[in-house]
Each structure stands twice: as C-alpha cells, then as structure tokens.
Amino acid sequence: MGKSVGLDIHERGVRAVEVTGSGKKFRVGRYMEREVTPRGGAPDPEEMRVALAEVFKHYSKHHVIASVEASDTVVREIPVPFRADDQIRKVVKYEAEHHLHDCDADDVVVQYAKVGESSDGTNLLVFAVRKDVIGRRIEFARAAGVEPLAMDLDALALFGAVKTAGLIDESPTCVLLDIGHRSTGMVFVVDGTVRALRSVRLGVDSISHGMAREMEIDAGEAGEKVKEIAGEDEGDLLVPLHPGEAKPETAKGHAELERDVFHQKRDEFAGRLKREYVRSVAALRGGASPSRVIATGPGLSVPGLLELLAERLGVPVEPFRPSEAFSCKLDGQKARFDESGAVALGLALKGIGQDPLSLDFRQEELKVANKFELLKNSLAVTVTLLFFGLLAFSGHCVYKMRQLEHQRFEGIVDSAYKPFADVVASYNGLGSMIEERHQVDPNAVERGGPKPEAVKRFLQTLERMKRNLHTIVGDAKGLPQITSALQVWNDIFATVGKLHEQIDFVDFESIEVTQKRVTLVMVLPDVEAGQRLEEGLKRVEFLSAMTLEEWGASPYPGTNHQKITFSFKRIER
Amino acid sequence: MTEDPVKLYVIVMAILLCVLSYVAYDSWKQASAYEAAIHRAPREAEQMKTLASEVKALVDQIAKSELRDGGEKVLIERVEKTMNLTRSQYGSDTVPIGRGVKGREKRFTYDYGGGRGSPALRRLEVAKFCESVERASGGIVKTIELQLRRATGEGAPEVGKTEKVTDDRYKAKIVFGLRVVD
C-alpha cells in the first residue's frame, strides 16, 4: 500500500499530512504543523531544520512532496502557436521569458497548464519560479534528511485537494481562497480548469497589525486579542449592520472598544480582499462569473470573516473542510487540519497519483537525478537481509548435503561397489578378447568418492561392458547377424538328400557360401531335375531371404547330363 | 572510488550477494542431486544387479570358450592340428562391419587342396573342422565363408554315380570370423 507525505513549507512554519493508499482509495493518517519565526520574509533555516526534523520523527521520509509558495511565482497566460505537448515544452520557457522582466529564463523553472485552445494554437497558464527559491526549500528538507520527490505550488495543491473532494465537479466555475497570515492565494477555476492564479500580499496578520497600530500595542499582543475575541461567541462578533443602533463611543467598555477595532480592521481586510477579487475576476477572459468561493487557511479562524466576505463578494463563501470530505484518522488534529491542512493534503494526494495538473517544479538541475540516493538506505538494509538469508540458505544446503553424503550415500555406494568390482575383474580377465583400451579401471569409480554420480557411473560402465560383450558374442543390438556358412551348407545338403531319389543323382562341382551370395554348380541328370531342385532350395531358410539371380544349364561334356548353376544373392534392404 | 560509505557498502554487499547467490545455487543444486540420487538409489541398485548379472553371463559365455587360451587363431589352428589338416594358404584381415554399425570383423582365411602337401578335403572333414572351431569358440567364431570346388585328379569322384558318395574331395577355402569391439 502506498504512503505519501505532503509537506507544506511556508514562511511561518511547516505542515505535513500523511496519506496511505492508492489514488482511488486512500486515508489521511496523520497531520502535524510546527511554527518557526519568519526572518525577512523567509523562515529561519535552523528553526526550520529543527521543525522538520521533529515532524519527520513521525513520518516516512521516502515519498515526500513539498510545496513552493504561489507568492514566489510569476503566473502569466500566454498563447503559443502549437498544440502538441512536446512542441510546447520546447518553446514554453523562451516564450515565457518575454513575460519575466526581472530574471533570466535560465534562473527559473517554468511549468505550464493548458487553459484553452484557439485556431492559432494553445493558451497556456505559465508558472515561473526562481530556482534559488526552490533550491532553498530543497535545502530545508535535506537538512532534515528528506529528499522531496517532487514540488508543486501550494495554490495548485489546494486545487488538487478540492478537486479530489469533488467540489470542483459541483461548482466548475469557482474561486479557491487560501487566506494565509501574510498573503492570500486565489485560484480562479473556470469550467473545472485553473484559469488564473493570484497571490495577494494581504493576510489575516493585517487585522492584528492594524489593531496593534490603532491600540498602540505590539503585534503579538494584538494577535492574542484576536484569538480572545475568536474564543467568544461568534454570533456577537458579526459586523454591526445597523450602525444607528450602536452605543455611543463614550458608553463603551474597554473590551467593546477592542471589538470595534477588530471589526473595523476585519472590514478593511475584507474590503481590500474584495477589491483584489473583483479586479481579478474582471481580468478573467470570457467574463466567467464564479458561483462559489471555497476558502481555507488560517483566515477561517477569524470570526465572521467568511460571512463578511460572502456579503461583500456577493457569492457564497464556504470553508473547505477536508476531514469531512475524506476518510481521516487524525486524533485531535481535526480542527487544525481543516483550517490549514488542505495544501499539505493536496501535495500528499499528488504523491499517490491524484494530480490534476501533473506539474513538478523539480526540473533541470533541481531534478531528483539520482534515485539511488533516495533508495540507498533501504537498499543497504535489503542487501544485508538478502545476504544473511542466502548465507543461511547455502549453509543449510551444505549441511544437508554433508548429512546425506556421510550418513546415507556412503552405504549405498559401498553396497553397489562390491558386485561392480567383481564383474569388472572377470571382464578384464577375458584377456585378449578385450583389448586393453576397452578394459575398465576398477578403481576409477572408487576414486570418485561416495557421490551421486558414482552409481550413475557404475551403470554407465556396466552398460558399456555389456555392449562390448554382445559385440564379441555377435548379437549386439543393431549388429548384422553372422549366419554360419556351415549351417547353410548343411541345410542345402539336407534338402538335396531329401530330393535324391526323385532326381536320381546330384554331383556338386562347386559350392560357394558367403554372407551375401550362395552359388551352387552341380551335375544333374536333366534340366527338369534342376527345376525340381530349385524348388527345394528356395525353401532353405538362408536362401529364402535371397533372390535367385542366375539359373543356368548346359550339357556336361562327355555325358547326357546337365551342368546346372544356381546363384542366389541376398536382397539388400 | 566513492566517498559515500553507504554506497560503498551497498556495492560491496551486492558483489558478495552475487557470489553468495552462486554458492547458494550450487549448494542447493548439489543437495537436490543428492536427494534425487537417494530417491533413485533402490531402483538403480536393482538395475545394477540385473546389469551385473547380464554382464556376468556374457563374460561366462566367453570364458567357457577356448578363446581365452591364446585367442581365435590359436584355437583354429589347434583344431586344424588335431584333425591333421594341412593348409596351403593362410591370411587374416580386419574389416569394418558395415556402414552405420560400430565394430570390426576379424577374418581368418584357410585354403586347403592347393597342391602337394595340402590334400583336398572330404566334405565331412570340412564340416567337422568348421563345427569344431565354432563349438570350441562357444559360437563366437563363425564360419562366415565356405568355398568348395571339386578336386580333379586322384581321388576325384566319378560323375554320374547313383549311390551316395561321401568321400569326394574338394579344394576348400574356409573363412572364419568374429566381431571385435571398435
């Protein structure tokens, strides 16, 4: 089961969410956040290292997706005269360069999302982030022993989380508001796709800072007062809509005055946010009108802010509560997770494949080049375990082999060797019948030791001896049989003997019997006797497998008899 | 050389792992072979017994023949001497058995009736000579060729006799042969 950690690094701290499962079915397992002191708009590196180290005591370091703040990003919509991704990828950086006024194209990572197509090409929403900004965040993570596999904009991560929750499908044209401490991110979604991104240097800190100025207290104290007010009944904190009913200033107590200052600063914040919102919506191409605003971030904890924004913006403003949208096991962190965990959740979801825009800001020299570096510790553990596993296995095999060798096989070989040695002795004792090169070394098998091959060799040697002996005896398999010429001769004479009375007399002039041919030359009273004899001869076993090649008769000189020749030849198959 | 100790460790362990994999595989193979051999042992022992007894029977068959005492030539000539036969010519050669068959054939050729001092043989003498050689060799040496030609001159049979004649004399060429292992 996959595990992914989303790491939202921002100027005031870190937030981390762990998600377990796959893109289709997952569970939010743990949420943590740690604050650090911002120094000149950036988090203190040492404090950040400590915070991350503390966070990653509780999380896996192997599949981490980190964030880049949208406030550090230049976002432009630009047209390119191509539609194919590979062509766009080649030119986007140089097309974007025209829109980057304060930095070189080589100093930024450029990513893009398609927002529409025209007859001339494609409209792109281009995001450019300085490499040093990304590099600084990678360094933060590395200092805590973490190597982020990918990096994405916080605003786009929020879009991913909201889309996965199904809210974009409900309201395809909407605005996502990430109301932070010092800035507010706005993601303008038209027809389900991100059409614009803005980061406004306006956060909820402006309320406490405004109160601090007004009440002449320091910002920290003002922040505490905002929290105190937030802890009271939210119903009383709504903006007084009917100023005529308000008490005169002189009749108000200290607490009421503080509340009034809070209301005033909150109104100012809402008003400024509205201006930015209206300006951005007006700039959207096609005149799209958002049907809903989905809000998240620390701004959710400011009492009455969402209601005020809804009133000012003229559209419903609803908080995004991921704990209600997804299966979670958060143990007391639910409220904090709902308020500030959406970005980290979007990053974690990207790690398990829920990544609508598929952007990664770790590119070029910032790319995760050496996967080995990421895997080396796991690899070291794995090879060690494998090594000892294999060592144990081979040890077991060797031990087993020795056991078999000494306890069982020795006996088997010994019992087999005795009869073998006896047969070899008598075989070799055949003397000149077995040429020296065909004799068997009686010690050859014994020298081999008690091994499985020994019996196999016994059998092979015996087979060879048997084959040799069969060859000598003349009945080896596949060997043409020798028929004794004496036997053939006897059979011919037996046949002639049987016919002797019918053919008066037979005198043999010559007889020639070989394995392939039999030739008989004989003197007979007449040709008819020869024919009779031929019938008899054809029944002789050896001759029956031959063909009568020649049959000749001629007068025998000085007599009335006939000299008859029979020549049989073996039929070759 | 890498300076990363973990990387170095992984590389060294990977090499060791390769070596150990081979050793483990080899050990496993041998142990399996032993096990299989033990499993086969009763069947093979039985096979050995059968084979050994077959070999023993063949060895005994050859041992019983008189071939052991000096070989085939000595045997033939001992029979020849016993029968008081005098040959006119002798030759021997070794030829391959034939195409596609492993082994050779040793051939011993004896000629009788080739002139003075080597009288032609009666048919019975030829038969007895061949039979004696074959029997003495336990069937290993066989008469592979036989050529008889009626002898002329003294002792030649009278052509056209009606009674059975057994003392006709013939010039004989007898070839004995046996198979040898190649």
Q: Measure CB to CB from residue A435 to each of B45, B175, B181 and give the nearest one.
A: B181
Which neighbouring-strand residues pair with A568? Answer: A518, A548
Say whether residue B153 is in contact with chain A using an 8 A CB cutoff: no
Residues of chain A found within 8 Å of residue B103, distances taken between Cβ atoms: 471, 476, 479
Confirm or reject contact between B83 and chain A (CB < 8 A): no
Alpha carbon distances (Å) from A222 to A264, A265, A531, B27, B143: 14, 12, 145, 77, 132
- Residues on chain A touching B35 (C-beta within 8 angstroms): 404
**Chain A residues with CB inside 8 Å of B71's CB?**
432-433
In this structure, whether the domain defined by B67-180 belongs to CATH 3.40.50.300 is answered with no
The residue length of chain A stands at: 573
Q: Is the pLDDT of residue B1 over 60?
A: no
**Contact pairs from chain A to chain B, CB under 8 Å:** 234
Say which amino acid occupies A235: G
Chain B CB contacts of A514 below 8 Å:
144-145
Report residue A323 as tokens. Answer: 């704990």
Between CA A337 and CA A328 the distance in angstroms is: 10
A383: nearest CB among B13, B54, B164: B13
Decide if A154 contacts A129 (C-beta within 8 A): no
Q: Cβ–Cβ of A452/B10 closer than 8 Å?
A: no
Asked if B51 lies within 8 A of A466 by C-beta distance, the reply is yes
**Are A404 and B162 inside 8 Å of each other by CB?**
no
Given an 8 Å threshold on Cβ–Cβ distance, is A476 in contact with B178? Answer: no
pLDDT at A250: 60
How many angstroms away from the CA of A504 is the closest CA of chain B? 6
Which own/partner pairs from A94-100 qualify as long-range (CB within 8 Å, at least 24 positions apart)?
A95/A124, A95/A126, A96/A126, A96/A128, A99/A74, A99/A126, A99/A128, A100/A74, A100/A128
Kindly list the residues from chain B whose CB atom is less than 8 angstroms away from the CB atom of residue A505. Answer: 160-162
Q: What angle do CA A458, A462, A465 make, to 5 degrees?
A: 140
| Four-residue CA torsion sign, A175, A12, A203, A207 | positive
Give the list of residues 6+ apart from residue B43 with CB closer than 8 angstroms, or none. Answer: none
Which residue's structure tokens are 């009288």?
B119
Minimum CA–CA partner of A393 in chain B: B24
Q: Which residue has the higher pLDDT, B132 or A415?
A: B132
Beta bridge partner(s), residue A130: A108
**Residue A310: what pLDDT?**
92
What are the residues whose beta carbons fall under 8 Å from the beta carbon of A119, sequence distance 6 or more? none
Write down all domains in chain A, each with its CATH number in brackets: 166-319 (3.30.420.40), 380-473 (no CATH), 485-570 (3.30.70.60)
B136 CA to chain A: closest CA distance, Å?
A: 13
Residue of chain A whose Cα is closest to the Cα of B147? A512
Q: Are B151 and B83 in contact (CB under 8 A)?
A: no
Residues 6+ apart with CB under 8 A from A421: A442
Per-residue CA distances from B24 to A220, A379, A380, A452, B28 (Å) = 68, 21, 20, 19, 6
Name residues of chain A where pLDDT drops below 50. 233-244
Structure tokens given for A220: 């920290």
- B chain contacts of residue A430, beta-carbon cutoff 8 Å: 59, 62-63, 68
Question: Chain-centre distance of CA A100, in angstroms?
Answer: 40
Query: How far does the CA of residue B125 sit from the closest CA of chain A (Å)?
Result: 12
**Cα A141 from Cα A437, distance rounded (Å):** 80
Chain B neighbors of A427, CB-CB under 8 A? 55, 59
Task: Tell me if A341 sits within 8 A of A19, measured CB to CB.
Answer: no
Residues of A with CB below 8 A from B8's CB?
Answer: none
Other Cβ atoms closer than 10 A to A285: 12
Q: Which of A300, A324, A333, A301 is nearest to A18 (CA)?
A: A333
Measured between alpha carbons, how far is residue A554 from residues A224, A263, A531 in Å? 149, 152, 13
Chosen from A405, A482, A515, A520 to mutate, greatest number of chain B CBs within 10 A: A482
**Owner of token pair 């030849």:** A569
Kindly state whether B12 is in contact with chain A, defined as any CB-CB distance less than 8 angstroms. Answer: no
> What pLDDT does B145 receive?
94
* Residues A177/A186, Cβ–Cβ less than 8 Å: yes
Q: How far from the centroid of its chain's Cα atoms is residue B31's Cα?
A: 41
Out of B4, B101, B143, whose CB is closest to A485?
B143
Name the DSSP letter for residue A561.
-
Phi/psi at A183 (5° precision): -145, 160
Three-state helix/strand/coil letters over A15-72: EEEEEEECCCCEEEEEEEEEECCEECCEECHHHHHHHHHHHCCCCCCCCEEEEECHHH
Of the candidates A433, A479, A523, which has its C-beta nearest B103's C-beta?
A479
Residues with Cβ within 8 Å of B62's Cβ and at least 6 positions away in sequence, in order, are A430, A433, A469, A472, A473, B68, B138, B140
- Nearest in space to A197 (alpha carbons), one of A242, A140, A152, A235: A152
Cα separation, B112 vs B139, in Å, equals: 23
The ipTM assigned to this model is 0.77
Taking CA–CA distances from A399, the nearest residue in chain B reads B31
Chain A nearest CA to B175, separation (Å): 9
Residue B113 backbone zone (phi > 0: left; psi -120 to 50: alpha; other: beta):
left
With contact defined as beta carbons under 8 Å apart, do A294 and A167 qualify?
Answer: yes
Q: What pTM, to 2 d.p., does this model score?
A: 0.54
CA-closest candidate to residue A190, choices A208, A200, A176, A203: A176
* B74 touching A (Cβ < 8 Å): no
Alpha carbon distance A205, A211 (integer Å): 10
Roughly what angle, to the nearest 10 degrees, separates helices A452-473 and B5-64? 30
Closest-CA distance, B115 to chain A, in angstroms, reads 18
DSSP code string of chain B? ----HHHHHHHHHHHHHHHHHHHHHHHHHHHHHHHHHHHHHHHHHHHHHHHHHHHHHHHHHHHHSGGGTT-HHHHHHHHHHHTT---SEEEEEEEEEETTEEEEEEEEEEEE--BTTB--EEHHHHHHHHHHHHHHTTTSSEEEEEEEEEPPSTTPPPTT--S-----EEEEEEEEEEEE--
Kindly identify which residue of chain A lies nearest to residue B31, measuring between CA atoms.
A401
Asked if the model's pLDDT at residue B3 lies above 80, the reply is no
Residue A316 and residue A319: Cα distance in Å, rounded?
A: 10
Say which residue the tokens 């550090």 belong to: A72
Q: Is B124 on the interface with A (CB under 8 A)?
A: no
Spatial distance between the Cα atoms of A570 and B25, rounded to a whole number of angstroms? 60
